[in-house]
Amino acid sequence: MSDELSGNFIRDIVAEDLRAGKHETVVTRFPPEPNGYLHVGHAKSICLNFGVAQEFGGRCHLRFDDTNPLKEEQEYIDSIKEDVRWLGFDWGEHLYNASDYFDQLYEWAELLIRNGRAYVDDQSADQIRESRGTLTEGGRDSPYRGRSGEENLDLFRRMRAGEFPDGARVLRAKIDMASPNINLRDPVMYRILHARHPMTGDKWCIYPSYDYAHGQSDAIEGVTHSLCTLEFEDHRPLYDWFLEHLPVPSRPRQYEFARLNLSYTVLSKRFLLQLVKEGRVRGWDDPRMPTLSGMRRRGFPPEGIREFARMIGVAKRESVVDYAALEHSARDYLNRTVIRRMAVLRPLKVVITNYPEGQTEEFAAVDNPEDPGAGTHPVPFSPILYIERDDFMEEPPKKFYRLAPGREVRLRYAYLITCREVVKDASGQVVELRCTYDPATRGGTAPDGRSPKATLHWVSAAHARPAEVRLYEHLFKSPEPGAAGDLLADLNPRSEEVLARAWIEPGAAGLAVGERVQFERLGYFCVDPDRSADRLVFNRTVTLRDTWAKVQSRQK
C-alpha cells in the first residue's frame, strides 16, 4: 500500500447506480448490535457507510440491530452513539432499531406461514443443528415440516402469547433442506426468549433472528445499498429470499466487503468483553483497547482514523493491515496540529555549576513548527534542570552522541553544556551530573560555529510540574494474536508502563483532559481523565518514529 488511495469498489458501485438512474439517492445504514463497545473495525464500516452517503448527497441511518435482548444493554447503545458522533458522523433524525419493526416482522412471519413458507418446529436446538447437514452433506427434513398452515399459525401465536418455555419451539423458513447453501436449509426466523428487551420491555417473548430481521429492516427504511462484511456473503441468497417472498416497500441490495484485520489486534466485541470482564484491562476505554473509546482516551484523533479508513480502502479480498499504518495516519494529523512542549519522563538531575545562583531566564519556544500560524511560548531556565536518564551514558558506545563525561551537547532552545562531573549514590547509581554552560551559546548556536551532534530536551527543576506518564505497547505480543490457539497467552505483559515521577514544563500544565501535545523527542500524548488537581496524567498516543512510512519507502 502506498500513499495514494487504495480503491473502494463499493463507492464505484454506488456512483454507477446513481449515474444509471437505478436510484435517485443513496441510503446506507450502520447496523451495530448493542452488545459491546465499537472498535476500529466498526470505524471502517462507519466511514464507509456514512462516507458514501455523504459523498453522494444521500443519507446514512444508525440502526441498532437489537434482536438479542440477552446481550444488549443501554450502556452499549449510549457508547455507540457517542463513538459515531466522535468519529464525525451524524445520522440526523435517522436513528432506528430493529425492534421498531417487531410488529411488522411478526405480521410478515404470519404471512409466510399462511403462504406455506414457514413452519413451527418442535425440535430442540441440538436436533435442528444435527439435522441441518454439513458443507458436503444435505440436511434432513424436520418431522414437523409438513404441519398444516392452520396448526403452524396456531402454534406461532401461542409462542408469541408466552405459552411455551424458552427453546421449546422455533419458527423456521421453509426453503430447501437439500440446498448446497446451509443458510437456505430452513433457517430459524423466531426463537422463544422470555427476556426483557431494552426497547420493547416485556411486550415480546419471541425474537426474530438477525437473518430475518435485517433485510426487512433495510427494506422498511428504504436502504439502497446494504453493506456488510464478507462472512455474510453466503447469507445473501437468504436475504434476497425473504425480500422476494414478502410485500416489502423497497428492494435493497446487499454488498459484502472485507473486514478490517489489524496486526497485533483482536477485533471482536465478544473477546474485548472478556478482557474487560476478567480485568485484564482497565475497562472498555483502556487506552490499549482497539475500541473507539479506548483510542479516544489514548489520544487518537478522529481525523486520523478517518484518514486511515480512506487510506486502506475497501476491497473484497481479506488482508491484515499493519498496525503501524494506523499510527501513521494519526501521527500525520497530530504533527500538523498539536502544540510542542518539553517533558522528562525518567529524570536525571543536572546542575549548571557556572550559572549564576538564583538567576532564571526565559527562552521562546515554537508552539508548532509545522503550523506557520502558531506562536511561541516561554520556557524558563535555571541552574538546576532535569534531563532524560537515557540521554546520558557514563561509558558511551560508539554511536551514542548524547551526554557523556567531558562531552558537550545542546539543550533545546537554551545553551550548549558540557558534563564535568558524575555524582553517584552509595549503590553506584548516577544521581546528578555537574555541568558547565557556555554563556556565548544562548539560543543554542555557538559563535565559533561548533555544533554538537545531540540536542536534548529538558525542564527547569524550579519550574517543572509533576506528572504521571503512561506508555503503551501492543496489547498482544504476537502480530497474529491467537494464531497458536490461545488468545490470552498472547497478551503482552508489558503493554503498559506507568512513569509516576515525570516532569513537564509549566507551559504544559494547563492542558485539559483530552487535550493533545507533542512532548519533544518523545511522542504525542493526551491528558487522561485520571488527572488530579495537582498532577496531570498523560497517555502516549504514538511515538514520533514512523515505522510504517519507513517500510513503505523501502518497498518503493
- Say how far apart CA 556 and CA 232 lie, in whole Å: 36
Among the listed residues 508, 528, 471, the one whose alpha carbon sits nearest the alpha carbon of residue 380: 508
Q: Which is nearer to ligand ATP, 123 or 268 (CB)?
A: 268
Report what 267 binds from ligand ATP, Mg ion, none; CB cut-off 5-8 Å by kind: ligand ATP
- Say how far apart CA 242 and CA 51 lie, in whole Å: 28
Q: Does residue 33 carry a catalytic annotation?
A: yes
* Closest CB to ligand ATP: residue number: 41
Q: Are residues 360 and 388 in contact, defined by beta-carbon separation less than 8 angstroms?
A: no
Radius of gyration of the chain (CA): 30
Crossing angle of helices 302-312 and 74-87, rounded to 10°: 80
* Least distance between ligand ATP and beta carbon 315 (Å): 11
* Least distance between ligand ATP and beta carbon 27 (Å): 15
* Least distance between Mg ion and beta carbon 262 (Å): 18
DSSP code for 202: T
CB atoms within 10 A of CB 358: 7
Residue 273 binds Mg ion, judged by CB under 5 A = no
- Say how far apart CA 249 and CA 239 lie, in whole Å: 15
Report what 44 binds from Mg ion, ligand ATP, none; CB cut-off 5-8 Å by kind: ligand ATP
Q: Which is nearer to Mg ion, 228 or 295 (CB)?
A: 228
Q: Does residue 259 carry a catalytic annotation?
A: yes
Rounded alpha-carbon distances, angstroms, from residue 529 to 286, 292, 467, 523, 533: 11, 16, 13, 19, 11
Q: Which is nearer to ligand ATP, 156 or 255 (CB)?
A: 255
Angle at 292 between CA 288 and CA 294, to 5 degrees: 30
Q: Are residues 122 and 144 in contact, defined by beta-carbon separation less than 8 angstroms?
A: yes
Q: Which is nearer to Mg ion, 267 or 384 (CB)?
A: 267
Looking at 33, 151, 233, 473, which residue is catalytic? 33
* Least distance between Mg ion and beta carbon 549 (Å): 34
Rounded alpha-carbon distances, angstroms, from residue 511 to 405, 467, 521: 36, 12, 19
Q: Which is nearer to ligand ATP, 31 or 252 (CB)?
A: 31
* Least distance between ligand ATP and beta carbon 318 (Å): 11
Looking at 185, 191, 269, 331, which residue is catalytic? 269
> Side chain identity at 213, as an amino acid letter?
A
SS3 percent helix, strand, coil of the chain, rounded to 5, is 30, 25, 45
- Say how far apart CA 481 and CA 106 lie, in whole Å: 42
Among 33, 176, 367, 530, contact with Mg ion (rule: CB under 5 A): 33
* Least distance between ligand ATP and beta carbon 402 (Å): 42
Considering only the stretches 29-37, 79-87, 216-224, 280-288, report the one whose residues sit in contact with Mg ion under the rule CB under 5 A. Answer: 29-37
Report what 224 binds from ligand ATP, Mg ion, none; CB cut-off 5-8 Å by kind: none
Residue 371 binds Mg ion, judged by CB under 5 A = no
Report what 245 binds from ligand ATP, Mg ion, none; CB cut-off 5-8 Å by kind: none
Binding site residues, ligand ATP, CB under 6 A: 31-33, 41-42, 44-45, 65, 228-229, 259-260, 267-270
Report what 259 binds from Mg ion, ligand ATP, none; CB cut-off 5-8 Å by kind: ligand ATP
Crossing angle of helices 547-555 and 323-337, rounded to 10°: 110
Q: What is the DSSP string of 227-266?
A: EEEGGGGGGHHHHHHHHHHS--S---EEEEEPPP-BTT--
Q: Which is nearer to ligand ATP, 42 or 174 (CB)?
A: 42
Looking at 11, 132, 140, 259, which residue is catalytic? 259
The interface with Mg ion within residues 100-159 (CB under 5 A) comprises none
Residues in Cβ contact with 102 at an 8 Å cutoff, skipping those fewer than 6 apart: 200, 203, 204, 208
* Least distance between ligand ATP and beta carbon 177 (Å): 27
Q: Which is nearer to Mg ion, 64 or 386 (CB)?
A: 64
Query: Total residues contacting Mg ion (rule CB under 5 A)?
Result: 1
Report what 452 binds from Mg ion, ligand ATP, none; CB cut-off 5-8 Å by kind: none
* Least distance between ligand ATP and beta carbon 232 (Å): 7
Residues in Cβ contact with 424 at an 8 Å cutoff, skipping those fewer than 6 apart: 430, 431
Report what 260 binds from ligand ATP, Mg ion, none; CB cut-off 5-8 Å by kind: ligand ATP
Q: Does residue 468 carry a catalytic annotation?
A: no
* Closest CB to Mg ion: residue number: 33
Q: Which is nearer to Mg ion, 195 or 273 (CB)?
A: 273
Q: Are residues 365 and 379 in contact, defined by beta-carbon separation less than 8 angstroms?
A: yes
The footprint of Mg ion (CB under 5 A) covers 33
Give the residue numbers marked as catalytic: 33, 259, 269
